[in-house]
Structure 1
Amino acid sequence: MSLRIGRRRTGVSSRRGPAPSHEALTAPELPAVAPPNTGWLIPAPDGRLTAYAPAVAGGIVRWTESPTGRGGWTAPELLLPDNRLLPYLCVARGPAGYADVVALRRTADGPEAPLEVVHATQYQAGRPLTGWHPVGNPHVKNVRMAASIGAPVAVVDGADALHVFIRNASGGVSTRVRDPRGTWGNWASFPCKRVHEGLSAVVTRSGRVELFAPADGGVYVWRQETPGGPLDRAPDLVLCARPGTASGIETHEGRITHYWREEESGEVVAHRPSEDGAAAPAPAPLGGHSGDGPLALGRCLVDDHDCTVLAQRERTGTLAIAAHPTETESAGAWWTETHQSCEGAPAVAPDRDGRLVVAAVDGDGRLNVTRQRTDRQGLALEGWIRL
C-alpha cells in the first residue's frame, strides 16, 4: 500500500499561519503548567474537545472547543484553584461521557506534608466541575510514607467504575475504585515491588482495563476480564522500560499495544502481548531517540488506511510526530519535526469528524492546537492555533 508514512517518506507536514479570528483567541493569557503526562485532551459526547492542564497558581486551566466545532475555542478558564495542588492531573472519561479529573494535593503547607489524591467531575463540556473531593492515601497512618506516593493514573471502565492507581511508598501499586453508584471502596495493593513512576492504564472499547507497570528488570501487567470486575495478574514482561515513558492504545478489538522508551537507548518501542500461548514477540523499534517522556497516541485514517500516530516532546523543547499503519510497526515510523514549542507531554484526540487533533503547551504556558487535513495525501496538519 502506498502510505506516505514510514521510513522512506513521512507525509507529515505542518505550517504555522495566523490564528483564525475567533473571539476566544483574544482572551487574556492564563498560563498553565505543561502536563507531564498525555491524555489531557478529551472528547465530550457532543464531539467537542476539552484540554486540561495544571494552573501555575494551583488549580486547573481548561480550554473548551466551541459548539460549532469549526476551530474556535473558549477563553482559558481557571477552575478549582488550590495552592496546595501539585502541578499534575489526569483525566478519565467513562461511558456516560463524564470527565473525572484526578490530582495530588498536600494536606498542609510545606514540601514534606503528606499527599492526598483528590478528584472532581465535569458532567458536560464547558460546564463547571464539582469541587475537589478527597480520595485519600494508602499510607494514611504513616506521615513519612504518605508524602512519598507517586502520581495517580485514573480510568473509567465499561461498568462506569472509576479506577485510581498509584505507585505507593513501598514501591508497589495501590488502587482504589469508585463503583457506578459513587461509593468508594478501600485502598488495596497489588503484589509487586520496585515499581517505577509512570504507570499506564488503558481501557478497551468494550470497557476492560489494562494496567502496565514498569519496574526493575521487567513490567507488571494486570487485565480485567469483564468491565466492573477485578484486575487479574497477567504474565510479567521481561523487558526494561525507561521510567515515566509508558503509554498504550487499543489497536484491535480488545488488544492493547504498549509503547515506551528502551531503558538504555531511549528508543521508542511498541509491544503487544502474545496470543494463543505463542511466544511473546520482541518489541518493535520505532526510532524517536531524540525525544523524552511518554508518547501521545492516536488513531486516524491516512489515505483511507488505519494508522497509529505518535507524538513526542523532543529534548530540544519542540514537538515531533510519526505514524505507521496500525499493528504494522515493521513499516517503520519516520519522525518529523514540527518546530512547535512543546513543554511536558503532548496530547492527541479525534475530533467529531474523525480527524486527529494534536495539542501542546508551549514555554509560555499557552495551548497550541492543530488539526489533520484530509484534502492532502499523507498525514498533513493545518496551521497551529495559539490560544
Structure 2
Amino acid sequence: MFENGPLYFKHAKYNGSLPTLMLNPNSWTKISNILYVDAPVGTGFSYSRSLEGSFTSDTKSAKQSYIFIRKWLMHHPEFFSNPLYICGDSYAGMVVPIIVQDISDGIEIGHKPSINLKGYLLGNPATDRHAELNSQIHFFHHMGILSDELLESAKKHCKGEYVKVDPSNVQCIKDLQAVSQCTAKLNPSHILEPSCGQVWTPKCKKIIRDRNLLEKNLCSNLISLPPIPLLKCRNYGHMLSYYWANNDGVRKALNVRKGTVQEWTRCNLDGINYLKNVKTSTGYHLSISKRHYRSLIYSGDHDANVPFFNTQTWIRSLNYSIIDEWRPWFVDGQIGGYTRTYANQMTFATVKGGGHTAPEYRPNECFNMFKRWLSYEPL
C-alpha cells in the first residue's frame, strides 16, 4: 500500500469513513506476479495456531517462509516454471538471504516441488546493525549535518566506536552528545522530510514504557490512533491504513479468518515473540554469490537508518571484482541514482532522493529500476 503494490491510499483528510484506495501507476505487479507475505508470524494478519509456532527468530522465520513457498507452489502448480525472486527491504535484509540459501539448499537435495530460483532483491537492507549504526555519523557528516571539526573530534576520541561507548570516555560521550543535538530532530527515514514526531498505537506506548530504546525506535513513524498526525506528514497515510485494515468489510474481502487477529497494527512488538539470532547476514550473501544467483541491492540515498555507506562497505567485503563501473542511471532523461555491478551478478544502485523504503519516496524511478533489472537490462 505504500511501496510497490497495486493500490495506495488517497492522501486526504480522514473523515471517519473508509479511506479511499487509488490505483498505483508504478505497481511492480504490472510486470511480475508478487506474493506479499506477512512475516514473521504475528505481523500483519499472520498468526499461529500453536504457542510453539508463535515463537520465531531470524532463522526460523526464514525456514517458515521457505515452507510457505513450497506449500503455495504445490497448490498452484501452474507457477512451477516461473522464475522466482525473493524480495524485501529494511529488516528483511537479515532474513531474505537466509530464505534464498534455504531454497537453494532444498534444490540441491531434491526437495519438491523444484523451485526455479533466480535471485533476490533488497532495499535499504539491514545487514549488520552495529555496523549500520556506527556508520551513521559518517552519513550525517557527508550530508552536511555535522561539521568537519566535530567528526574529527569524535573519530579521535571514540576511536571509531560510536555505539558501544565506554562510559568512562567522557570526551567521546561529549562529542556524541553534540552529534545528537545536530541529528535528534531529523526524520531518520528521510532526512529531508519533516520530522512529524512519533505516533503509536496503545500497544506501542505500553512497550515503550517497558522496553529499551532500540524497540522504541522500531515503533517510530508507524501508525496511530488519535492524536492524528498532520496531513502533510507521510505517517498520515500510515494512520489511514489502521482504519482501513481494521474495517470488517475490508477483512471479509481479504478473506481474513475471523477471530485470528483482533487488531491489525504496523507495530506489534508485544504480540510477537522474536529472537534476533543472526548478527550479520553478510556470510549468507557470500554463500549465495558462490551459487551464481542474481541480486539487486538498492538504497534510498537519504536514509539514515541504513546508510548507503555501510551497504557499499559490506558489498565490497564480498571481494568480487567490478564489471560495470560506477555510473548514473536515468529515468525520463533525469538521473535516478547511481549504480555498479559486480562479478557475482550483484547490482548495487542508489535511488536519488529516496528514503528508507525507496519505492515509497521515488515510485517511478524504482519501478523502472526493477523493470530493467528483471529484464536483464542495464539500469
Instruction: Report the TM-score range of the alignment, normalised by the length of the smaller protein.
Output: under 0.3
Bigger share in strand: 1
TM-score, with normalisation over the residues of structure 1? 0.24
Bigger share in helix: 2
TM-score, with normalisation over the residues of structure 2? 0.25
